Structure 1
């Protein structure tokens, strides 16, 4: 059973990341590593000291014989991309961006403005897709049916002009299936795409 280390900077990312593995890579054994001050301490952005903290967590995962590593916080994605390791080390949105850029028009959903701007900014550096973005403010902190309903309400006026929807935060991923059914379109989420890519990389 491949051991996949999920390195998180907030407890909110753990559930969606584990669920992504359960749905797309059920053969994997999730191993959660959490430093819940990595976001709070990054109020002024990613510093060399914070990057070193993330590198130490990656080193800990490697020492614990992780077969693959997924960072779940986009702020630290650059650390994943710069890591030279004997196993796959994925940035949070690496896999979902690879999928999303196959579509000509993408609608990005987020629950608050800075998350939307961050996701759109990072995606447009790796894609030529036309991108529209919407803040689903009522989705912030919501769970279950309330989360799905908030995302559907925000996306519905815009989805006719998009070929796929990209969820800009891991915390929105639990609503992906319901959102796809309600909108009748493809919905891409970081946890599901990352789990699928890890399965492809780790299983023959």
Structure 2
């Protein structure tokens, strides 16, 4: 399956470290970040799960739920949590899916449809594409997809930045420019005509080119 931006995020039932969930029901009216890792007890992911736990209050403040995924039994992730806490200073404080039958990994296009067998017999390298991040909106649509190589730790501060942009542009008819940070100037969306823009931004805008209309962040 090829998952694309704007599509409905596939729903599923799964066991997690915090009990069984139905994904769409678990999201509810919130935003959500689903991030995956290829196996328990892998070094780069150990740092990632610990860091995500440390910044979870920032996601909470934005109304974003966090959920991890491992192609591993839940009990392996629960054992791994001790290592994460001891080496990173924070244990996972969010659920982690035990995707032992590869259902979620296949639904989200991270593993091929013909993958089967014992997940604990697979090496992390065989699950290399299970290094992805999905941001999902309250409408259950996929808003962002990122896939990283196994040797590069993910930048979850960047995920927060993107969430800020997504939430802003969902409420206002603007887009965010390169390297935008919360509070910076924004760009009037191309879908807004000049005539309509004048009714919204009554003080006008700065336009180095007619198609680049810059205004303060709403």
TM-score, structure 2 as length reference: 0.27
The structure with the largest alpha-carbon Rg is 2
Question: Higher strand share goes to which structure?
Answer: 2
TM-score, structure 1 as length reference: 0.29
Question: Higher helix share goes to which structure?
Answer: 1
